[in-house]
Each structure stands twice: as C-alpha cells, then as structure tokens.
Chains A and B, each alone.
Chain A
Amino acid sequence: MDGFLTLLYKEVLRFWKVSFQTVAAPVLTSLLYLLIFSHVLEQHVKVYENVSYTAFLVPGLVMMSVLQNAFANSSSSLIQSKVTGNIIFVLLPPISYRQFFAAYVLAAIVRGFVVGLGVLVVTLWFVGLSWQAPLWILVFATLGGAIMGALGVIAGIWAEKFDQLAAFQNFIIVPLTFLSGVFYSIHSLPPFWQQVSHFNPIFYMIDGFRYGFFGVSDVSPLMSLGVVAACFVVLTTFTLWLLRIGYKLRA
C-alpha cells in the first residue's frame, strides 16, 4: 500500500473506531432537528409546490451533516496529531504534500458521506423523497465535502490549541451552515438577507444538493455548481500552497 492509501485508510479507521461519537451522534442530532422543526413548522411553511416542509428539510439536514462532519474530520485529526505530537509519524515518511492533502480531504468526504447517508436512511422513515437528478446530489455532496475537508485541513494546520479550532468551527463554519438555507428557502428572507445569503458559498452547496432531489431550487444548479467548483479550486490551491511551504508543520 503506498503512503497516500495508508494515510487515507488511517484517517478513515480513526473516525470509524469512534463511530459512536463521529457517526451516530451527528445522525441523532440531525434527527432531532427534523423532529422538532417539522413538528413546529410543517403546517406553517410551504417552500416549493408539492414538497412538504419535512421533505424540504431532509436534504438540507443531510448536506449540513456532510459538510460539518467533513470539516470535523480533517480539522480534529490534524489538531489532535499536532497537540499530541504524533503528526511526526506522517511527516517523517516520503509522503508528498499533494498526497497528504488528498488523503485528508478524501477521508473527510468519506466521513461526510457516511454521516450524510446515516441521516438520509434514518429520516426516510419519516418522509418520502423524490430523486430527480441523482448525479447532482453526488456532485454537490462530493464537492461540498471536499471544500469542507480542505477548510478543515487549513483550520487544523492553523490552530495551535483546541479552543482556536473550536472558535473556527463555532464562529465560521456553524453560522455559515445554519444561515445557508438548510431550514428555509432564502426567498422567505427580506431582500437584504437574500443578498447576503448569495455571498455564502454553503448556500449554493445546499441549494444545488436539494435540486438533485426535487428538481427545483432557489438559484440555477449550474450557477451553484460554478460557485462551488470555483470555491473548491481556490481552497485547494491555497491549502496545497500552505502544505508545500510547510506552514506550521515543518518549521
């Protein structure tokens, strides 16, 4: 097995060994969101024709889980390795910075997919979904997971303490995901906040992902794909540059 595959395997094994915390817990959290929000809002909110609020909510929750867990995987693995010092085991072998990036980001996508699939399976007990464009579902989930995995790599490299990483997560990632249309359509917002939402890349990930289920979305899926792909390219380039210069990894 080469260095890249081993690092990928190690990163997947790492979260799988504590799957109660890394998979079951976020699935339960999403289920609670679904139960509470659908109970309160099912009769009051109608976003798209022929789509119940609960059905509307499910893809948003799935994608939110994919994104948050992809970020959590790469960021928490790196900060733990840095704080405990075992990052040295990855830095000593002949693993290139590109392999390093690919392994952490792919493992993040895997964790995002596992949790997202868990949320989808559990929520399907409560509501039926349509699958208008499955390819869009896969494309947005993959790109979204990759973007958040790369962001996790950046945060994990940058943070020197757990509280710095928690600040990154709580003040950037969580607000961006919550304010991205997981629980509502941005058309229900006042014009100013609609405009603001268009600057949130996560909005496009969720909107495009949801399009794959219902065939309708707040903005064109092609536009969403363009924004998400551009974000992926920019973040990948930036992260690879950080890794190439050894920022906070190789003094």
Chain B
Amino acid sequence: MNPAIRIEGVTKRFGSIQALAGVDLEIPQGEFFGLLGPNGAGKTTLISVLAGLVRPDAGRLAVMGHDVVSDYRAARRQLGVVPQELVFDPFFTVRESLEIQSGYFGIRDNAAWIDEILENLDLTEKAGTNMRQLSGGMKRRVLVAQALVHRPPVIVLDEPTAGVDVELRQGLWNFVRRLNRDGHTIVLTTHYLEEAESLCGRIAMLKQGRIVALDTTANLLRRFSGHTLRLRLAPGAALPEALLPRLSADSGGEHVLALERCEDLEPVLASLREAGCRIDDIEIGKPDLEEVFVRVMHRD
C-alpha cells in the first residue's frame, strides 16, 4: 500500500533563505500526523510544495503514490489543503464557493456531500450568505469545507484553529477526528501544542527547514519530557541536598523537581521525610508536548 505522503530529499531556497534543507518523511495512510515547528521553520513551505503551490529545488514528493510534479492531476485529487491565511472570494456565497470548488475537481452534483459538510461545520444557515459577511471563524470553517469538497483521502490543515473560538474548535476537531476514523489521513500544523498532543499519533518537529524530531507522540513525551513534582515547603524548610540535581525551577518558595518515571516519586518523598521537611502543598505534573517542543528546539 502506498503511503499517504512520501517526501524524499526535498529542498527549497527563497533567495538567501533555505526554507527546506533536505526533508525526508513518510506518512502512512490513516495516520493523524502533526507537523510542528516555530514560525519560519518551513512547515507552510513543505505543505505548499506538497500541494504544488511551490516548486522544490530538489527532491520528490508523492501523495497516495502520485508524484506531485509529473502526475500532479492525480496527486491534487488526493489532497485537500486548508490554507493558513484566511482567504475567500468576495463575489460568491458559501454554497457557490463550494460548488465552484467541486467543479474545479470535476465533480458534478455534489449537493448531498456539500450539505453534509455544511452541517458538520455548522454552516447550513450560512449557505446562502456572501463570504464577505461571514465572521473570521466562519470563513475559516468554509476554508475547511472547500478542502473537503472532493473527498480527498489526505487532508492537510495548516493552523486551522487560529482565530476560531473554543466551541467551534471542538466541533471542528470532532469532525476531523471522524474523518480520520473513516480512513482519511490528516496532517496538522498548529501552534496549539495541547491540540497536537491530544490528536496526533505521530509528530515531526521542523527547525530551520529540517526535521529535528520524528516519533510517536507517546515516545516523544517519554524521551523529552517527564512528570514533575511541584512542592511548596513550610516556611524555613530547605530542600534536601540530595534532591538538588532534580531541581528544574525554583521561584517564590515553589520548587519544581523532575521525575523521569512515576517510581521516582517515593524516593523523593522519602528524602523529604528524612530531612524533616514539612510540605504545605504538592502537585504532580504530567509530561506535556510543550516541554518536548522547547527541549527539541533548544538542543543543538
């Protein structure tokens, strides 16, 4: 079975900026994949190259086995892209925009699927409204709808929840989760790392046009993050010397200790007991992707 996306040795330079510096990546069908990185890391360029909006200097890309350059028509039929920027055609209504987009992909009589998308994205009541009259969040949802009109097996969402309120965001993720369950491959870029953590089975982190981390979300959390223990000791109590190597933050009387594993908790508490430290407050923090992200981006 062809992978949903195959990227081999892709480079792209814009003037003096090396936007992509040799990216290799394979995303199997059915995966919910996260593409993370700081601004300017090359995420949008990689998506643009995949979608045929930008031409690579070197390397090959294929969507569902179709080369995006030599077999671009088949590749584009397999791909739905939700662009990062909030773009719309001010001449048309929501329904017209979706009908026209369907036609671009050679689909006639797409009304039933368009109705379903509109309903799932809570846009049914706005179907006859001109795009200019929609709020930013609504326009964002229409962009999602436009990417789905041709039922692409691979869907790329480039920061789809920017500017979308919490309720709509939840609705959008429920819909995208359902698409993923139905077999669609989802590639997501987002700055909301908690979203990526809860949605993506596997994550690639890009930095300066290179993939600097690529693993399952669980493995990344295990490798680059861990549990933390937040302690507030009684006034006058000092942290035992044996625990100082674990200290990752210390401010305002609150100590944050790193725990590689849950089993490390008992020895830490034992040290505190032996030192006679009285604990005023205690809290265990779970590993999170934000910490992974920060660590990956700051390591050389």
Q: Does B73 contact A (CB under 8 A)?
A: yes
In whole angstroms, how far apart are the Cα atoms of A17 and B90 in the complex? Answer: 11
Cβ A251 vs Cβ B106 within 8 A: no
Cβ A251 vs Cβ B104 within 8 A: no
* Contact residues in A for B104 (Cβ distance below 8 Å): 3, 6-7, 89-90, 93-95
Q: How many residues of B contact A (CB 8 A)?
A: 34
Known interface pairs A3-B104, A6-B104; A92-B87 also in contact (CB < 8 Å): no
Cβ A1 vs Cβ B91 within 8 A: no
Pick the interface stretch among B27-35, B49-57, B222-230. B49-57
Q: Does B77 contact A (CB under 8 A)?
A: yes
Q: Does A88 contact B (CB under 8 A)?
A: yes
In whole angstroms, how far apart are the Cα atoms of A7 and B89 in the complex? Answer: 13
Contact partner, B55, options A10, A92, A246, Cβ 8 Å: A246
Known interface pairs A89-B146, A91-B53, A251-B54; A2-B87 also in contact (CB < 8 Å): no
Q: Which partner residue on chain B sits nearest A77 by CB separation? A: B91
Tell me the B1-32 residues at the A interface (CB within 8 Å): 14
Q: Which partner residue on chain B sits nearest A87 by CB separation? A: B87
Q: Which partner residue on chain B sits nearest A251 by CB separation? A: B54
Cβ B89 vs Cβ A86 within 8 A: yes
Q: Which partner residue on chain B sits nearest A15 by CB separation? A: B91
Known interface pairs A6-B103, A93-B105; A88-B73 also in contact (CB < 8 Å): no
In whole angstroms, how far apart are the Cα atoms of A138 and B73 in the complex? Answer: 35
Scan A153-192; emit 1 where CB is below 8 A from any B CB, else 0. 0000000000000000000000000000000000000000
Q: Does B76 contact A (CB under 8 A)?
A: yes
* Contact residues in B for A6 (Cβ distance below 8 Å): 100, 102-104
* Contact residues in A for B77 (Cβ distance below 8 Å): 94
Q: Does A5 contact B (CB under 8 A)?
A: yes
Scan B68-83; emit 1 where CB is below 8 A from any A CB, else 0. 0000111011010101
Tell me the A30-51 residues at the B interface (CB within 8 Å): none
Cβ B14 vs Cβ A92 within 8 A: no
Kindly provide the distance from the CB of B5 to the nearest chain A CB, expressed in whole angstroms.
16
Contact partner, A1, options B85, B90, B106, Cβ 8 Å: B106
Known interface pairs A13-B91, A92-B81, A96-B73; A250-B106 also in contact (CB < 8 Å): no
* Total CB contacts across the A-B interface at under 8 A: 80
Q: Does B108 contact A (CB under 8 A)?
A: yes
* Contact residues in A for B150 (Cβ distance below 8 Å): 93
Kindly provide the distance from the CB of B97 to the nearest chain A CB, expressed in whole angstroms.
8
Q: Does A214 contact B (CB under 8 A)?
A: no
Q: Which partner residue on chain B sits nearest A1 by CB separation? A: B103
Cβ A88 vs Cβ B87 within 8 A: yes
Tell me the A94-128 residues at the B interface (CB within 8 Å): 94-96
In whole angstroms, how far apart are the Cα atoms of A250 and B12 in the complex? Answer: 13
Question: Which of A84, A88, A250 has most chain B Cβ within 10 Å?
Answer: A88
Q: Which partner residue on chain B sits nearest A2 by CB separation? A: B106
Kindly provide the distance from the CB of B120 to the nearest chain A CB, expressed in whole angstroms.
20
* Contact residues in B for A251 (Cβ distance below 8 Å): 14, 48, 53-55
Q: Does B88 contact A (CB under 8 A)?
A: yes
Cβ B76 vs Cβ A5 within 8 A: no
In whole angstroms, how far apart are the Cα atoms of A96 and B52 in the complex? Answer: 12
Scan B100-122; emit 1 where CB is below 8 A from any A CB, else 0. 11111110100000000000000
In the complex, the 3 A-B pairs of residues with the closest C-beta atoms, listed nearest first: A6-B103, A93-B104, A94-B73
Q: List 5 A-B contacts (CB under 8 A).
A: A1-B108, A5-B103, A7-B104, A250-B55, A251-B48
A-side residues, CB < 8 A to B, are: 1-3, 5-7, 9-10, 13-14, 17-18, 81, 84-86, 88-96, 246, 250-251
A89-B146, A251-B48 are known; give 6 further A-B pairs, CB within 8 A: A84-B89, A84-B90, A86-B87, A92-B81, A246-B55, A250-B52
